[in-house]
Amino acid sequence: MLPTLVRESWVERSFPREPEPELVMDDPEQVEAYVRAGRIDSDMAAAYLFHSARVTQLIQGCEFVVDLACGPATQLAQIAALNPTIEFLGIDLSRSMLDSAQAHVTELGLTNVRFEKTDITHLADIRDASADAVISTMALHHLPTLGLLEGCFREIRRILKPGGKLYLADFGRLKSLNSVLFFAYMNRRHQPHLFSLDYERSLRAAFLPADFVKLTRDLFGAGYQVLSTALVPILVLIKSRQEQAICGTAAERLKAMRQALPRRYRRELDDMRLLFWLGGLRGDPFP
Ligand SMILES: C[S@@+](CC[C@H](N)C(=O)[O-])C[C@H]1O[C@@H](n2cnc3c(N)ncnc32)[C@H](O)[C@@H]1O
């Protein structure tokens, strides 16, 4: 398996993309499974903490941040709790996801997050140049076509203030189906089958890193960069170039949150940090 994986790189061609069977996640059973996988001490805990730290680093000083396709807001709530002075708007098209998201932030007592049911390719209710930052995690592969991804990027450009902050994280399409199956099922002993299946579908639906690079260059310009995990571009980040220091309380909380992760997830988080560092991402936010 290893030689196939090592041959993965910033692929321009691969197996044909297969859009997600359920684009908008409205099935309550699926929503419930996704929520379970994401709460603390669960399979997505490391990735959530990685993105929370990186987003926190980027949005220091912002007032209004939009999260595209926020799902059940596990990620968004973690970011909002770390940044209580910032107002967040979570967007999703699934009513079930938004119900779960609202219940989650209410339970946590967060007052700086609201939600809207909107399509991320058509953000009609958000004014031009009104957002200090736009973020999105693990959601863009839900868009059925490259044309809609471009539509979403055009909307982001429209609502972002000039020089606004950007953090879009998603899967990158791998060169071979062998690699997709390897990654989707490598932790199958520790995770529910539905989670592995969902992971496989996401990897089959991922856009090519080269597509993200072209759209970023054409629509956002030189202030933004596309990076991926080293060797295998399974995760891709499109982000503003500037890193900022995280101020006092949030930095302490992030440190404590990393320490509190069960050992397996802490190792996963540190692997992500290393793989992105090898992929060119600098300014590690964990103290
Ligand atoms: C895998 S979830 C990611 C949720 C969240 N960002 C996270 O990191 O946990 C993908 C979400 O995208 C939403 N979605 C898919 N297509 C959408 C669209 N066109 N507009 C808004 N939301 C969409 C789905 O309903 C689902 O909640």
What count of Cα atoms within 13 Å lies in the side-chain half-sphere of residue 131? 25
Q: Using CA atoms, how far apart are residues 144 and 121, in angstroms rounded to an integer?
A: 11
User: Within 10 A of 274 (CB to CB), how many other CB atoms are there?
Assistant: 13
Quick: pLDDT tens for 124-157: 999 999 999 999 999 999 999 999 999 999 999 9
Q: What is the mean pLDDT of the chain?
A: 90
The answer as to whether 284 is a domain residue is: no
Overall domain count for the chain? 1
Phi/psi for 60 (5° steps) reads -55, 130
Q: Using CA atoms, how far apart are residues 275 and 161, in angstroms rounded to an integer?
A: 31
- Using a 6 Å CB cutoff, which residues line ligand 1? 23-25, 38, 69-71, 74-75, 91-94, 97, 119-121, 137-139, 142
Residue of higher predicted confidence among 219 and 31? 219
- pLDDT of 92 reads 97
- CA–centroid distance, residue 4 to ligand 1 (Å): 31
Asked if residue 149 lies in contact with residue 215, where contact means CB atoms within 8 angstroms, the answer is yes
Global pTM reads: 0.92
- Average pLDDT score over residue span 255-267: 93
The answer as to whether 84 is a domain residue is: yes
The answer as to whether 64 is a domain residue is: yes
The answer as to whether 153 is a domain residue is: yes
The answer as to whether 214 is a domain residue is: yes
Q: Are strands 113-117 and 160-171 parallel, antiparallel or unpaired?
A: unpaired
- The two three-digit tokens of residue 268, written as one number: 């996963």
- pLDDT of 23 reads 64
CATH, residue 37: 3.40.50.150
Quick: pLDDT tens for 156-209: 999 999 999 999 999 999 988 888 999 999 888 877 888 888 899 999 999 999
Domain region containing 60? 2-278
The answer as to whether 170 is a domain residue is: yes
